[in-house]
Chains A and B, each alone.
Chain A
Amino acid sequence: MTETNRTSDVPVETHLATAEELRNEHVQSFGGAADAVEHVEGRKFNIDTVEHAAQTPDTDLPWTELGLKEDEYQRVVEILGRRPTAAELAMYSVMWSEHCSYKSSKVHLRQFGDKVTEKMKEHLLVGIGENAGVVDIGDGWAVTFKVESHNHPSFVEPYQGAATGVGGIVRDIISMGARPVAVMDPLRFGAIDHPDTARLVHGIVSGIGGYGNSLGLPNIGGEVVFDSVYQGNPLVNALAVGVMRHEDIRLANASGVGNKVVLFGARTGGDGIGGASVLASESFDDAKPSKRPAVQVGDPFAEKVLIECCLELFKASVVEGIQDLGAAGISCATSELASNGDGGMHIELTSVLLRDPTLTPGEILMSESQERMMAVVTPENVEAFEAIMAKWDVEYSWLGEVTDTGRLIIEWDGEKIVDVDPRTVAHEGPVYERPFHRPEWLDKVQGDAFTGSAADAGRPSSPEELKAAVLELMSSPNMCSKDWVTNQYDRYVQGNTAMAMPDDAGVVRVDEETGLGVAISTDANGRYAYLDPYEGARLALAESYRNVATTGAVPMAVTDCLNFGSPEDPEVMWQFAEAVRGLSDACMELGVPVTGGNVSLYNQTGGVAIHPTPVVGVLGRFDDVSRRTPSGWREDGQAIYLMGVTKDELDGSEWANLRGHLGGQPPQLDLAAEKLLGELLVNASRDGMIDAAHDLSEGGLAAALADMALRFGVGARIGLGELCERDGVDLFTALFSESQARAVVSVARSEEVRFKDMCSARGFAHMRIGVVDTEIGALDFQSQFSLPLAELKEAHEATLPKHFA
C-alpha cells in the first residue's frame, strides 16, 4: 500500500470499539438530517450524501474518534472544498492512519529507494511500491517475499491476531500473481516466566499454526525471543514467500475504462473496523476501552480456496489488476486500484455481500474482514471469471467499473456518498517531519560496558564453571530449543522444503527439475539496536545475510519489518531514523536491495517503548538446493574450523543478558568481512568442501558448537588454546563473545587443503579448532571440560515445555 510498499499491521486501536458504537455515532451526527433516509433491502440508515454534506457544512463529525488530528481533518475539508461525508471521513481517516500512510516514517523510508545502485536493481523485477517486491532467480522464475507485523492485534486477541497476520501477508503474495510456498514467523514475547506470557505464547503459536497449517504452507523458520521489554507489546511478524513465472506477475491497478470491478472471497462483516487507524496506530493504555472488536477474525479455509481460485484466474488470464483487502479494506482497495490505473472508478456499495446486514456504508468501507480480494476484469472475461468462482464455490459481487474521470465515486443505492480524487486518499496523505533527537541517557548506557561491571563479577573461569555456563546458556529462554513451537507448524507440506528450523535458514525448492530454489532467514537483535540503533540495524542485516550464505545460498534481496515505539516521542523517532539510515547504508554496502516491508510504530505501553527491533529478512538463491549446507556435522573425523576473528565483545550479548546487564557498545561490524565470509561459504558449499556450517551470532562460539553437535546428536573434540593465543582472549571470551563475521564449518579430510588454500588466498582468518567424533557422545573441550550430549540435549529441550507444556 502506499508508495513504500509497506502494508498492514500496525497496531490499531481506539475507541472505535464496536460497530454498534460507531453506528450510534453516525446516527447522532446525522440523525437530524431527515432529508437523507434510505431503505435498502430492509436496511435503514440516515445516508450522508455528498449533496447533503455540501448543504450542511457545520455538522459535527467524529474525526477525533476515528484517529484524525485537527489539521488533518482541515486538510480533508480543503481537498474536497466541503466537509467530508461520513463515508469519505471513514476512508480518509483509515487511509491517512500511520499504519496505511506511513506519515511519520515516509521521509526516512525514502532512503531505501535512494541508496540503490544499478547493479542492485539487476535482478529486481518489481521494487518498492507494490504489494511485495519481486526478484528474478533465473530460468524464467521469479520469487516474491515480504515480512509484516501484526503486533497489536496479537496482544489483544493472540490467536486471531497471529492467524490473520499470516493471512494478510499471504494475500499480499497472491496478489502479485504468485503461489505462496512458505511462511516464517519472527516472534518476540515478554519474560518467559511472566504470568501473561503463556497466554500470548499459546495463542500466538496456535494461531500461526492453525492458519498457516490449514493453508498448506510449510513454516520454514523464524525467531522466538523472550525479553521483558516486549511484555505489553509482543512482536508478531509474519513473512511469506511466493513463486511465479515472470509472465505471471500481477500488479494492483485498475486500467481500461469500462472494465468491471469485482469483490470476491469472504463476505464483509463488522470485524476489524478501525484495525489500521485505531489499533495499529496508537499505543496501548489501560485507560482506554478494549480494542478486541478491532481485531479481525480469520477463516483459513476460505483463504486456501482463495489461493487456488486466484491461481486459476491468473492461469486463465482473466484479471487485469488485483488487490488484496487488508488494512482499510474496501477504502484501500478502491482508492489504490483507481489511483494506480486510469484514475477513476465508479462503485455501488450496496452490491457488497455482507455478513451483517446492519453495517453502515462507513463500516463497509472500513471493515477489515479477511479473505477478500478485489479484481478488475474486462467485460469479455466476466463469464470466464464467474465460471472459476463457481468451480471453487467462491462468492463474488460486481461492484462497478473503471472510469477515466479521475474521481472515485461510491454510491449507496444510487446516491453519491463518496466523490474524491483517489490519489488524495491513497497517496497524498499527510507527511510528517517528526522531530527527533539522540536520547541523553544513551551516553551513560554506552559507557557501561559488561566486562568489569558488577554484573560480570564471578565470571566463569574454572572448567567446572565454564561447563555450567555453557549449560546455562543453552537452556536459557533465548538459546534453548524452539522445537516446542516449531513442532506445531507443518514444515513438510508441498514437498519442497529442503531445510527448515533449526538450520540457519529455511530452504525451499522452486523448480523440481533443476533444483533451483531459495533460502530465507529473518533476524534482529533488539538489545544491539537499543545500544546503537544505527549499528543494530546493520547488525540485523549482517546476521540475516550471514545465515543465508551459511546455507550456501547467494544473498539477493531484503525485506524488513521495523518495529518501534511511538513516533511522537523524539527519542524513539531518533532510534527509527538511525535504524533506517543504518539499514539502507548496509544494504548498499552489501549490494542487496530492500524490496519491501512494513513499519510498526506505537509499540509501547504506558510510555515505555520496546527495544528498537528492525527485523531483517534476506532471500538468497541456490542453483540447486541439494547443495545446501546443514548446521550440524555427522561424519567422523571431519575437521572443525572457526572462520573469523574473536574479540572481547560481550556488550549486549546473551551472556550479559543472562546476568541482567545491558550496556556498552554492540559488536563491531565489518561489512567487507561479512561479504567475504559469505562468498567463502557459498564457494565452499558449491565446491563440496564443507559438510556443515553454522554462523556465530547470539551466544557466540559456545552456542554454535552446541547447536552443531545437537543437530544430529554427534559429538566433537574441541581445543581452543591456540585460538585464545592468536586472538588474545581468555577461554570464556572465546566461548561467549559475539564478534561478527564468524562461522564454524566442518571439512572433510580430503578437502582440508583446498579449504585452507581458499581462505588463505582471500586473506580470511581461519583456524582448526577440533574434530568430529561419532563415538564420544559429548562436546569435549580438551583439557577443560566434557559436556555429555545427553545432558546438553536435556537442558536444551526442557525449557519451553517446562513453561508452556
Chain B
Amino acid sequence: MSETPLIGDFSPAPDRGLSGARVGVVTFPGTLDDRDASRAVRLAGGTAVSLWHGDHDLQGVDAVIIPGGFSYGDYLRAGAISRFAPLMDQVVDAAKGGLPVLGICNGFQVLTEAHLLPGSMIKNNHLHFICRDQRLRVENAETAWTSEYAAGEEIVVPLKNQDGQYVADEKTLDELEGEGRVAFRYVGTNPNGSRRDIAGITNAAGNVVGLMPHPEHATEAGFGPDFSAAGPVDLRGGTDGLGVFISVLKKIVAGAK
C-alpha cells in the first residue's frame, strides 16, 4: 500500500503550479520505498498516485516511478519477477510511447530486466549491503528527470543496496558513453564496483531513467543526508535529490500548456 494509513498527511505542496502533475508510484510485494517516493513527489509539488502491480491500469498518470525495495524478496535475481507483473505491460508500452519513467534502486533493476534500459546489476563487489551518503555527478541534464540540474553538477543522495554493481558489456558501455546516456556517475568513491562509475543511465529518448542511489531520500530537510554538494547544511539537511522530481513535474506541466 503506498498510501500511509498510519502516518499523517502532508502540508500543502510548495509549488501549487505543479500540483496538477500526477506521478504514479508502483507497489510490488516487497517494495519498500514507495511511500518515500510518493512523499518526494508531494514535496516537489506534484500529486502522487499509488499504482498496484497486479492492476492493468496506469490511472492516466503523467509519469511513473518504480521505487526501491526487494520486490519478491529478490531471491531469484533483483527485479526478475516484478518485470512480469501485469502493470509492467502498461509501463513498458507507455515508456516506449514517451511517458517519463524513473526506476530507483530495485526499480532500476526492474527496468533493466524489462529491457527498457541496458545492462544489469549484480551483487556489490564487496559483497555487503551498503548504506552511505553518496556524491554523484549529473552527467546528462537533458533527461525528463534531470533537467533541473546543470550538466556536471554534483549532488549528494543516500545510497543503500545489496545488488548495486552496474555491469554491461564493453560495447554497450561505449555506446552509453558515446550517446551521453550515462545520467549519473559516482564521484569520489565507487561504492559497489559499478563499471565506469555508472550510478544511473537513461534511454536514448531521455524519458526512461534508472539509478541505484535514492534521490527521494534527499528531498526533505531534517530527514536527508548530513551533506549537500552545495555546501554545509543542518543536521540531515541535504535535499539535493529534489531536483529529480521537480524536473519531471515541470516537464509535465510545460507539456500540458
Contacts and interface: CB of A to CB of B under 8 A. Distances in A.
Contact of A493 (B10, B30, B36, B220): B36
Contacts of A512: 7-10, 39
A301 B72 contact: yes
Interface string A347-372: 00000000000000000000000000
Given A311-B1, A489-B131, A514 B8 contact: yes
Given A488-B129, A495-B220, A630-B235, A300 B70 contact: yes
Contacts of A498: 222-223, 236
Given A210-B129, A301-B72, A308-B1, A392 B9 contact: no
Given A301-B70, A392-B29, A206 B8 contact: no
Contacts of A245: 6
Interface in B111-140: 126, 128-132
B162 A213 contact: yes
A86 B245 CA distance: 62
B35 interface: yes
A391, A486, A493, A805: residue with the most chain B Cβ atoms closer than 10 Å: A493
Nearest to B232: A634
Given A213-B160, A489-B131, A626-B222, A304 B30 contact: yes
Nearest to B68: A493
A487 interface: yes
B231 interface: no
A440 interface: no
Interface in A153-178: 178
Contacts of B158: 492
B214 A492 contact: yes
Interface string A636-670: 00000000000000000000000000000000000
A244 interface: yes
Contacts of B222: 498, 625-626
Interface in B175-208: none
Given A301-B29, A392-B29, A626-B222, A495 B6 contact: no
A802 to B, nearest CB: 15
Interface string B214-240: 101100101100100000100110000
B210 interface: no
B17 interface: no
B26 to A, nearest CB: 14
A14 B73 CA distance: 32
Contacts, number: 118
A513 B129 contact: no
A178 B5 CA distance: 11
A301 B69 CA distance: 10
Given A512-B7, A512-B8, A493 B33 contact: yes
Given A216-B69, A300-B70, A490 B160 contact: yes
A630 B33 CA distance: 26
Interface in A468-510: 486-499, 509-510
A214, A486, A513, A625: residue with the most chain B Cβ atoms closer than 10 Å: A214
A243 interface: yes
Contacts of A509: 223
A621 interface: no
Contacts of B74: 214, 301
Contacts of A491: 131
A404 interface: no
Interface in B53-81: 54, 68-70, 72-75
Given A495-B35, A498-B222, A628-B235, A513 B6 contact: no
B99 interface: no
Interface string A230-253: 000000000000011100100000
A214 B73 contact: yes
A301 B73 contact: yes
B32 interface: yes
Interface residues of B, number: 42
A588 B248 CA distance: 56
Contacts of B226: 712
B8 A511 contact: yes
Nearest to A390: B54
A240 to B, nearest CB: 15
B223 A497 contact: yes
B79 to A, nearest CB: 14
Given A214-B73, A301-B73, A315 B131 contact: no
Contact of B131 (A299, A490, A626): A490
Nearest to A139: B8
B10, B30, B216: residue with the most chain A Cβ atoms closer than 10 Å: B30
A21 interface: no
A49 to B, nearest CB: 40
A179 interface: yes
A299 B75 CA distance: 10
Nearest to A243: B6
Given A490-B131, A625-B222, A513 B8 contact: yes
Contacts of A299: 73
Contacts of B217: 492, 495
B211 to A, nearest CB: 15
A214 B105 CA distance: 13
Nearest to B226: A712
A305 B70 CA distance: 11
A274 interface: no
A312 interface: yes
B129 A209 contact: yes
A25 interface: no
Given A311-B5, A492-B217, A625-B222, A304 B128 contact: no
A311 B129 contact: no
A302 B69 CA distance: 14
Interface string A305-327: 10010011001000000000000
A216, A499, A628: residue with the most chain B Cβ atoms closer than 10 Å: A216
Contacts of B128: 206, 209, 488
Contacts of B30: 214, 301, 304-305
A307 to B, nearest CB: 10
Nearest to A394: B29
B11 A214 contact: no
B225 to A, nearest CB: 9
Contacts of A634: 232
B175 to A, nearest CB: 33
A493 B7 contact: no
A496 B10 CA distance: 13
A392 B72 CA distance: 11
B1 A493 contact: no
Contacts of B6: 178-179, 243-245, 248, 311
A494 B131 contact: no
Contact of B1 (A312, A487, A630): A312
Nearest to B69: A216
Interface string B1-44: 10001111111000000000000000001101101100100000
Contact of B130 (A243, A487, A495, A712): A487
A393 interface: yes
A626 B232 CA distance: 18
Contacts of A392: 29
A305 B126 CA distance: 29
Interface of B: 1, 5-11, 29-30, 32-33, 35-36, 39, 54, 68-70, 72-75, 126, 128-132, 158, 160, 162, 214, 216-217, 220, 222-223, 226, 232, 235-236
10 nearest interchain CB pairs? A301-B73, A216-B32, A179-B6, A495-B36, A492-B217, A513-B8, A214-B70, A511-B8, A209-B129, A492-B158
12 contacts: A179-B6, A210-B162, A300-B73, A301-B30, A391-B54, A487-B132, A490-B160, A492-B131, A493-B68, A499-B235, A511-B8, A514-B8
Given A487-B132, A495-B223, 20 more contacts: A179-B7, A206-B128, A301-B74, A304-B30, A305-B29, A305-B30, A486-B131, A487-B131, A488-B130, A493-B32, A493-B33, A495-B35, A498-B223, A498-B236, A499-B236, A511-B8, A513-B9, A514-B8, A628-B235, A712-B226
